[in-house]
Structure 1
Amino acid sequence: MLLARDGSGPMSPATLAEIARLEAEIDRIEGDTLTRLAAAPDNQVQQIELLGKLMLFDKQLSVNRNEACAFCHMPDTGFTGPISEINRTTGSYPGSVRTRFSERKPQTHTYAPLAPVLHYNEGQGDLVGGNFWDMRATGRRLGNPAAEQAEGPPTNPVEMGLPDIACVVYRASQRPYRGLFETVWGAQAFAIGWPADVESVCNTPGPPPANDPLPVHLSKVDRGRAATTFDQMAQSIAGYEASHEVTAFSSKYDAVQAGKVTFTALEQQGYDVFRGKGRCNECHRDGGPGEDPLFTDFTASNIGTPANPLLPYYAENTPDDRGYVANKNGSAFVDGGVGAFLAGGHPLSQPSAVDARWKPLAPQTRGRFRVPTLRNVDKRPSPDFVKAYAHNGYFKSLKQIVHFYNTRDVLPRCAADDPREGTGCWPAPETTENMNTSKTGNLGLTDQEEDALVAFMQTLTDGYIPPKH
């Protein structure tokens, strides 16, 4: 499926209807949250959490004032992609400029603040931590990968699309939560001399011209202040993500561990497979001495996911109506993951993100993507809601991705449109570089054991209410 530059293609009537529904729901949540400003909490931690939530649901922080962070991260899907039709088809989401799509599916925000700062673990011989699928939000600058992740989308041309971080700060300065922000972070936060053309500059989608990379022209002092305030905005969003509202530890699994309930026979079988024959917990760790059960080891892996031919990104190889080309490689694009980040950085990375000592690791990390948490992996608003899985959204159900882990190297290869695809055969991996062949591909699970694994992973959904006796 190719993306038509007039906005048709993957933007089907069903998708447009879901976008309208989502925008209304984001407005409703923002409106409800704004009412809390009248009696804001005295506790600074709670103030930061409230600020973070208000910014997460604020569409004004995008170039066309139509896309909040929550557009890709809603509560009823575990703070990941909330549009079933997009998950079923493209897997990736449109930006504030609706003809621009990312190359990856949204990751979950839940439990993200618990990731360590990216570092090389000598014992594991591997990089551990960070945020984004390619780990580029290292946390080295702010001490929190989740905060650095929050700084990416606002100025990403294929996401929220603002041309300058100063625009994010300017837009925030016009919002009802400004007073609370100044209470938390200081009255100087928005004491910035804005140029007369700031509105027109910030209404222009990024990226900025190469000869004017900071198009909001500020004094050196004001530029520094804007950068500091932008960091504080990101830290507030990370504070909300760390709150009990987002990172809740309130699943059935948690209730079982607390001795409040027991697994069903099928769920217990799935947990046994998860920890045994399936080898799932070798990467999706369920805790250890001094560890919370976060169901990730914060490393990166290439499980051999096929390319997702429905990604509109493959067709973004010609200039759009603003002359922007998102993907110069077109259909030849191969996502290099962590290795691509280490080798050349990422166009949206901070210059300090890559430790020079990590660069030699680029060849052995190419094609690898961050191991996601399995918490809330099945959280959805209704049983018929489709969720997408893997870095490019190729997989469309938990059963399908479990079947892939089990049979990748057993079933024959086939074309992406083969009627047997996903059940009786698999397309070739997007890349075989550094592909995990020791823990994935031929697990020897029965169909019933696959179902048991799915049943266990469904116990990781937060918001579980134990039955009353």
Structure 2
Amino acid sequence: MKKSYSFILSLAVLMGISGMGSVSAQEGIDEQKLIEVGKKLFFDVNLSVNKKQSCASCHDPAAGFTGPDPEINTAGAVEPGAIGERFGNRKPPSVTYTGESPNLSNDYYNEALGIETWAGGMFWDGRATGETLGDPLAEQAMGPFLNPLEMAMPDAQLVVQRVAKSEYAEEFEAVWGPRSLDWKKDPEGSYERIVRTIAAYERSPEVNPYTSKFDLFYDNARDAKKDIKLITTKGFGNSNRPKGVPLGQHWTDYRGLGLSDNELKGLAVFNDSQRMGADCASCHTFTEGSAGYPLFTDFGFYNLGIPKNPDNPFYDMPEKWNPDGEDWIDYGLGGYLKSSGWDAAVYEPEMGKHKTPSLRNIDQRPSPDFVKAFGHNGFFKSLDGMEGIVHFYAWRATMDDGGMGDGGMGGGMGPGGGMGDGGMTPNLSLFPPPEVDENRIAMKPFNFMMVGDYLVAFLQTLTDGYEPSE
């Protein structure tokens, strides 16, 4: 049996909130009204210390509920807090399709990779564990209000007081009942009700609509009784399924279901762990959530070897918040476990690991020229291109596989996937070294120059709001 450890520090203790009252789901709560109030909380700038920042300030729906400022995304990718000269240490994660993340646990087994990993919780480092409220998403909502680098409210009581004086206070109490915003006698219980209400909005169809081009394709594939998990890159160069390729394994077997040929090829690359595939689906899985559609995450933690983002403004934060200055290193999950008092035997193997995000809405943006940032620290500024995150995956995997090619030319043909570079010297310096070199996961090499565009085309089908042409 796998050994599970018990948490020794709860999120409530870490945040300085003692005596957090338990607010269980109550019978008779109107779910739609709960969501409506949650949306008002999410967009309310009055819930920050100087009434200038809301949850939506860093999690903009137009940008896939993540960073809304292209200039910030182009540089450090960390949004400023309500007090403008204060910055956190990571790019804001998207809040879409996150509501089914389980409590943080160390007993998740990734069958595709054949490894055991931590999974669950919220934030890039999993520190909203779910241990306090039984709901990591609600616990995540507890954090930004009281974080001095974000919304900077001094305590939960003031947050409750602001909500109690809001224009929607009566709506809140109509949902939760009289005195559900008692900031004098029950600030802890009232605060819990507030964050659970925000979580209800973040789980709502408005935030998780499943209206992408992929979702239409997925419905059509199920109706046609075709399993998309079978698609591979076998016989990839053929526009029709060649002899010897079993039915359902060739990309042409999925024509007519809503994706273009290039998008289908990208799906094959995404799924396949052999030949010319990138094996993305081993972590960004096709496992269905409660709505019956893939969530594109295993909620696990991995170190991909992402470089430091030298423009991260956290490096310049005062010693009070960043005692390491420019030498600060983001150890992710391992850093959280260490700071929480875990033994070295537990946290050292997790150093440098960050949570696998859902790929849904990864390319959602308000305009085609809008710059998004990718990775936990926003180092990458595009999906495609030689400096984009897709090329980084191919390059890092190829370098780890012996440097056969430069990640653009390598993958898919030689030993371990390397194809060689036609006499070119491997480009070992295309990307900077990893911020944390230990505990890096082995990634599958693939030929970026040959299949990178297909992979990006598929990722772009995950953007919600797709309207098929007549």
TM value normalised by structure 1 = 0.75
Distance in 2 of aligned mates of 1:423 and 1:173: 58
Question: Relative to 1, partners in 2 of residues 1:133 and 1:122: Cα closer, same or farther, differing over 3 Å?
Answer: closer
Output the aligned Cα RMSD: 2.2
1:361, distance to aligned residue in structure 2 (A): 2.2
How many Å apart are 1:359 and its aligned residue? 7.1
> Shift in Å at residue 121 of structure 1?
2.2
d(CA) in 1 for partners of 2:364, 2:429: 27
Per-residue Cα deviation, 1:91-111 (whole angstroms, up to 9, x for no partner): 101000100111100000101
2-structure distance, mates of 1:423, 1:263: 36
Match of 1:439 among 429, 438, 443: 443
Query: What amino acid does structure 2 have at the position aligned with 1:44?
Result: D
How many angstroms does 1:120 deviate by?
2.7
Corresponding residue of 2:217: 256
Deviations 1:192-248 (A, max 9, x none): 44xxxxxxxxxxxxxxxxxxxxxxxxxxxx2xx111111111111110011110011
Greater relative CO, 1 or 2 (CA 8 Å, sep 6+): 1
Alignment of 1:11-90 (within 5 A): 44-90=30-76
The alpha-carbon deviation at position 287 of structure 1 amounts to 2.1
Cα distance in 2 between the residues matched to 1:362 and 1:176: 45
Matched length: 370
Contact 1:86-1:92 at 8 Å conserved across structures: yes
Other-structure match for 2:230: none
The answer on whether the counterparts of 1:285 and 1:296 sit within 8 Å (CA) in structure 2 is: yes
Letter of the aligned partner of 2:196 in structure 1?
Q
CA drift of 1:369 comes to 0.1
1:331 corresponding residue in structure 2 = 326
Q: 1:406-436: per-residue Cα shift (whole Å, max 9, x none)? A: 00224789xxxxxxxx997111111102111
Q: Under a length normalisation based on structure 2, what TM-score does the superposition of the two structures give? A: 0.75
Partners in 2 of 1:446 and 1:192 — Cα distance? 56
- Please list, as runs of the form range in 1=range in 2, the aligned pairs for 1:196-345 lying within 5 A after superposition: 222=185, 225-259=186-220, 261-276=257-272, 277-287=277-287, 292-318=293-319, 325-345=320-340
1:367 to 349, 352, 356: 352
Q: Offset at 1:363? A: 0.8
Supply the distance in 1 between the matched residues of 2:122 and 2:452 (Cα, whole angstroms): 29
Identify which range, 378-387 or 43-52, moves more after superposition. 43-52
Offset of residue 360 of structure 1: 3.9
1:271 CA drift (Å): 0.4
Distance in 1 (CA, whole Å) between partners of 2:395 and 2:176 is 52
**What is the alpha-carbon distance in structure 1 between the residues aligned to residue 450 and residue 109 of structure 2?**
36
Q: 2 CA distance for matches of 1:275 and 1:406?
A: 15
For residues 150 and 423 of structure 1, the distance between their equivalents in structure 2, rounded to whole angstroms, comes to 41
* More moved, 256-265 vs 151-160: 256-265
CA contact (8 A) 1:412 1:426 kept: no
Residue 469 of structure 2 aligns to which amino acid in structure 1? P
Residue 120 of structure 1 aligns to a residue in which SS? strand
Contact persistence 1:412–1:424 (CA under 8 A): no
Gaps of 5+ in 2: 1-27, 111-115, 222-256, 408-426
* Percent identity of paired positions between Structure 1 and Structure 2: 40
Q: Which amino acid aligns with 2:363?
A: D
Which of 191, 196, 218 is the aligned partner of 2:182? 191
Gaps of 5+ in 1: 1-41, 194-221, 319-324, 346-353, 414-421
Matches within 5 A, 1:347-362: 360-362=345-347
Per-residue deviation, residues 16-64 of structure 1 (Å, max 9, x unmatched):
xxxxxxxxxxxxxxxxxxxxxxxxxx97101110111000000000011
Distance of aligned partners of 1:99 and 1:186 in 2 relative to their CA distance in 1, 3 Å threshold = same
Provide closer, same or farther for how the CA distance between residues 376 and 74 of structure 1 changes in structure 2, counting only shifts above 3 A: same
Cα drift, residue 448 of structure 1: 3.6
Q: 1:267 to 1:172 in 2, by over 3 A?
A: same
Task: Tell me how far apart the structure 2 counterparts of residues 264 and 147 of structure 1 sit (CA, whole Å).
Answer: 39
User: Residue type of the partner of 2:453?
Assistant: D
Contact 1:90 1:311 in 2 (8 A): yes
Matched-pair contact (CA < 8 Å) for 1:49–1:240: yes
Match of 1:39 in 2: none
Distance 1:122 1:104, change over 3 A: closer
User: For the Cα contact (< 8 Å) 1:104–1:391, is it kept in 2?
Assistant: yes
The equivalent of 1:406 in structure 2 is 394
Question: Matched residues in 2 for 1:423 and 1:61: separation?
Answer: 48
1:303-347 CA distance string (max 9 Å, x none)? 0000000011101135xxxxxx221100000001001111112xx
| CA deviations over 1:275-327 (Å, ceiling 9, x no partner) | 01101000000226987410000100110000000011101135xxxxxx221
Q: Does 1:464 align with 2:466?
A: yes
Map Cα deviations across residues 344-376 of structure 1 (whole Å, 9 max, x no partner).
12xxxxxxxx8x6x8742111111000000000
Local SS of the residue matching 1:463: coil
Q: SS of 1:296's equivalent?
A: coil
Given that residues 61 and 67 in structure 1 are in contact (C-alpha distance below 8 angstroms), is that contact kept between their aligned partners in structure 2? yes
Letter in 1 for 2:125: D
Which has the larger share of helix? 1
1 CA distance for matches of 2:75 and 2:443? 29
Q: How does 1:419-434 map to 2 (within 5 A)?
A: 425-434=430-439
Q: Distance in 2 between matches of 1:68 and 1:314?
A: 24
SS in 2 for 1:361: helix
Paired with 2:109 and 2:124, the residues of 1 have a C-alpha distance of 23
Aligned to 2:142, which of 140, 144, 151? Answer: 151
Residue 380 in structure 1 maps to residue 365 in structure 2: yes
| Equivalent in the alignment of 1:322 | none
Pair 1:91 & 2:74 matched:
no
| CA distance in structure 2 between the aligned counterparts of 1:303 and 1:113, rounded to whole angstroms | 24
Give secondary structure in 1 for the equivalent of 2:118.
strand
- Does the CA-based 8 Å contact 1:342-1:359 persist in structure 2? no
